[in-house]
Amino acid sequence: MSSLFERFSSRENLKKAYKYVLEELAHSSLSVTPINHASITAINNLGDQFFIALEKCLRDEKYVPEKGYFVYIPKDNLGLRPVCIPAMVDRIVYQAILNQRVLGYKIDGQLSDKVCFSNRVNDKEDGDSFLSPYFNGYDAFIKKQKKAFEKGFVWKLELDVQQYYEHISIKKLIDKLQNDFDIKDEKILAILHQQLNAWVEYEDLPKGIPQGPNASAVLSNAYLSSLDKFVEDKLNGKELLCFRYADDIVLMGKTKEAILRATEKIVRFLREHNLVLNEKTQIAELKDSGTIEAMRIMSDYEDNTPEIPEDEFAVIQANVPVVIEKIANNEKVDKLELRQLKYYLKVGREYNLDFLLSLIGIIPLRPSLTILVVQYVAEGRQMLDLFGDTMDTVLIDQALWGVYNNAEVSEWSKFWILKLLVSSRGLLVGGMDKEMKRILASKGQTIFKIVALYYQTIKKQKINIDLVKRAISDSISDVERSWYAFFFLKAFEGERMPVIRDCIEKLLNANSQELNLIGSYLYQSKPQVKIDNIEGPFSSYILQRKKRVVKVDEKKSQMVQDDYYLVRKDALIPVSSPTSMLGVNRKRRLRHTIDLPLPETMQWEKVTLKMKDGLKEVEIWYDGKHLATVDYIQLGFFTGKKQQNPDRSWGFISALSVLSATDITQATAPNMRRMVAVNTGITLKTANVHQIKKTVTNRLRAIFKTDENPFHDNKNYYHPRFTLLPPPALRQEEVWQQGGKLNENLPYEDTELNQEE
């Protein structure tokens, strides 16, 4: 065993790979949540037991990658993008191969920094993300173009490589890693080769790598590295400059002829790699750098989009309804307008009913916008459910249901709409139960069946064990079967022990690592099941490493019935945050820098926030345990990039803490307006207070990783569901309003509040 293979297969490297995969899935633009929920739940519950087993399996050369499952995502030009979903075990191994200290740095260190700006490996190995932040690379990509324009390169042509990931030759990629990047470890390359061959769409055509995994992004850079070198050595110079971001290529020249000559050379070079260019725009002579700068803000690649000045945002916000109307009328929408709409759907906060209905109406016309629209509408529906008219959510649900039943709408769009409907609280749509039964009785429709099974879980309906068995039997791949097998967890309820044992035994002895993973999880959740012979290639590794625990920790397993559907006390499918579990919640701009260790299903009633003296810090407690002491900056409640003063939302929380300890019924909008204004020095209107409360709600949801409302549904005053305590030196709202302190000569230990705690 080489030292490189030992490093790759180590449980430490595998754990790091898993951390990267989870981060990647949380921010993926090709999300198929909740498909991966089953495997993630199993791995999280098995813990070190899983990573020890995978390490041993790799080193014993027993690891075999499994065939992936394909979904097809529509493009606006009527084309389809095939997306491979690898098994979770395979995805972890795939990422482990490309981790920094295995192949990651070796590949990235040899890429051209003058041409390639996308998907660069993160230098910070202790960070959450494997790749450097998207915007860092894209920002450099745009700045290079702007600088080129300022130097006289005023002619521009944008190109992209047609169906790039789908046409990468696996053999040429492996050869390139060996020859161009001097990667000689045959065992690692053999595993990588086996994986990529297992994930091709057609077995007799060994080409294409999976879109979505960050590991693929690094390999895609490796595949185009020779183009980057050719461009840097042969094309870039006094008359022309070329920059690449992923499969997007930008040529900037001082003359039109220079661009045409370079394009011809690039086309010939790429044909040798079985790739062709797809022209995106005509050659244009730029008059200024405005269009370049606009592309910087409205990036197609950036997930956590940058903030822009308020006046620029106001222009975009005003233009969005115009763009939506153009789409609805089948009028031409230019690239910049479409980017503005996508940008707004990521960061906008307009939850007007008519606006949300207009967004729903364009789903059939622009299927590429489906995910952004659904996530925006999901957040808007939540806000209207809390603050809008009672009929608002009904009208939204009816509009979504109408689009879902439109025969011309793509399967991908229907999948996302169904997830939103299933996750919606208080859904009033006739025919939903009938549709779920139709889906579950049908053959195929795997991703829809998974959603339907979660629907039954959320609604606390009985899952028929024969239905799960039939779904497994009808599946084409073991990856599919593992997704269904997870629902045995609920289907076992009320079944006889021989039936349960037979189901688990088949999973444990299957010739599939993913089925073995789910089987091991189910086996350990049913300690009373006795199975003597465990012969699965992966389950034998998992279950031989640790004695099965029969005794259940009653205190640890006490859960609230409303927050979980109980199969047993230690085997749960959490459903308290269905929008998060089903992936329809919009990715929030995370201002906070803390990561609280919270259970998967968080309950606000178990949260306690204790403000510290000075109202700059707070202790965070959960279920009687101290999690962290942090300041308002770490929580994201600040304004200004340099001074970072407490913002109005922090003033709201501070004022509310005082009233929580005295008389919470006094936390009315007029009283809060006066108290927040005294603290911040800003004159407020009552409407401002309501908006601040909405901001606080969203911020707390993000910090505590939940979709649950942190406030009671109270129209008269602001009533938090969590416990909020003021600092000991500040007990009365009158003192707060005057800016003074109470008992300021008493030490902290002597205050009455501290004694009560």
Between 283 and 578, where is the model more confident? 283
CATH of the domain at 345: 1.25.10
Considering the domain architecture, whether residues 216 and 349 belong to the same structural domain is answered as: no
The rounded percent of the chain whose pLDDT value lies above 90 is 54
* More confident site: 465 or 676: 465
Over residues 508-535, mean pLDDT: 90
Mean pLDDT on 543-550: 51
Higher-pLDDT residue of 244 and 753 is: 244
| Interstrand relation of 638-639 and 723-725 (parallel, antiparallel or unpaired) | unpaired
Best CA proximity match to 75, nearest among 222, 266, 256, 211: 211
Q: What is the pLDDT of residues 372-414, one digit of tens each?
A: 999 999 989 988 887 788 899 999 999 999 999 999 999 999 9
Contact 692, 648 (CB under 8 A): yes
- Higher-pLDDT residue of 137 and 371 is 371
Lowest mean pLDDT across 377-386, 442-451, 542-551:
542-551
Q: Is residue 70 part of a domain?
A: no
With contact defined as beta carbons under 8 Å apart, do 707 and 698 qualify?
A: no
Cα(757)–Cα(749) distance, rounded to whole angstroms? 11
Q: What is the number of other CB atoms lying within 10 angstroms of the CB of residue 407? A: 4
345 and 261 belong to one structural domain: no
Higher pLDDT among residues 706 and 235, named by residue: 235
Burial track 352-367 (b if 16+ CB lie within 10 A, e otherwise): ebebbbbbbbbbeebb
- 362 and 271 share a domain? no
What per-residue confidence (pLDDT) applies to 730? 58
Could you report the per-residue pLDDT of 407-417, keeping only the tens digit for each?
Answer: 999 999 999 99
Torsional sign, CA 235, 241, 247, 248: negative
**Average pLDDT rounded to a whole number, residues 271-275:** 84
Is the C-alpha dihedral spanning 463, 469, 475, 480 positive or negative? positive
User: DSSP per residue over 411-424, as a string?
Assistant: HHHHHHHHHHHHH-
Q: How far apart, in whole angstroms, are the C-alpha atoms of residue 346 and residue 75? A: 20
Q: pLDDT by residue (tens digit) across 570-611?
A: 444 555 567 777 777 776 555 667 878 877 678 899 999 999
Chain position carrying tokens 């020249």: 253
Does residue 537 sit in helix, strand or coil? coil
Token code pair at residue 683: 């004159």
State the chain's mean pLDDT as an integer: 85
**Residue 639 phi, psi (nearest 5):** -130, 145
State whether 294 and 319 are in the same domain: no
Q: How many domains does the chain have?
A: 3
Question: Domain ends where: 302, 336, 358?
Answer: 302
Same domain, 151 and 294: yes
Residue 298 pLDDT class (50, 70, 90 cuts): low
| Cβ-Cβ contacts under 8 Å for 442 (sequence gap 6 or more) | 449
In this structure, are 646 and 667 located in the same domain? yes
Q: What is the CA radius of gyration of the chain?
A: 28
Q: Are the CB atoms for 42 and 508 separated by under 8 Å?
A: no
Longest CA–CA separation in the chain, Å:
82
Residue 121 sits in which domain range?
109-302
pLDDT one-digit tens code per residue, 169-207:
999 999 999 999 999 999 999 999 999 999 999 888 889
Highest mean pLDDT among 136-150, 282-296, 521-535: 136-150
| The pLDDT of residue 273 is above 70 | yes
**pLDDT tens for residues 643-702?**
678 888 898 999 899 888 888 999 998 989 888 887 666 677 877 788 888 889 888 988
Residue 44 forms part of a structural domain: no
Closest CA relative to residue 459, chosen from 436, 476, 485: 436
Last residue of a domain, one of 506, 521, 543: 543
C-beta separation of 728 from 748 below 8 A: yes
* 295 and 320 inside one domain: no
Confidence band (pLDDT; 50, 70, 90) for 528? confident
Q: Compute the average pLDDT of residues 456-468.
A: 91
User: Quick check: is 745 in a domain?
Assistant: no
- 15 assigned to some structural domain: no
Same domain, 206 and 292: yes
Residue 57 lies in a domain: no
Same domain, 291 and 389: no
- Indicate if 330 and 215 belong to the same structural domain: no
Does residue 296 share a domain with residue 319? no
Q: How far apart are CA 87 and CA 210, in angstroms?
A: 12
pLDDT at 148 (0 to 100) = 95
The kind and range of the H/E element at 33 are none
Between 444 and 408, the higher pLDDT residue: 408
Task: Describe the crossing of helices 478-485 and 37-46 by its angle, rounded to 10 degrees.
Answer: 70
User: Which helix (H) or strand (E) element contains residue 80?
Assistant: strand 80-85
The answer to whether residue 230 is domain-embedded is yes
Backbone angles phi, psi at 564, to 5 degrees: -135, 150
Selection from 334, 300, 90, 123 nearest residue 213 by Cα: 90
Q: Are 519 and 551 in contact (CB under 8 A)?
A: no
298 and 314, same domain (yes or no): no
| Cβ proximity of 457 and 490 under 8 Å | yes
Report which of residues 556 and 471 the model is more confident about. Answer: 471
| Tens digits of residue pLDDT in 601-653 | 788 999 999 998 888 899 999 998 999 999 998 898 887 656 678 888 898 99
- pLDDT value, residue 299: 55
Residue 574 pLDDT: 53
End residue of a domain, out of 247, 271, 302: 302
Q: What is the pLDDT of residue 278?
A: 78
Q: What is the CATH number of the domain that holds 175?
A: 3.30.70
In a domain, 438, yes or no: yes
**258 within some domain:** yes
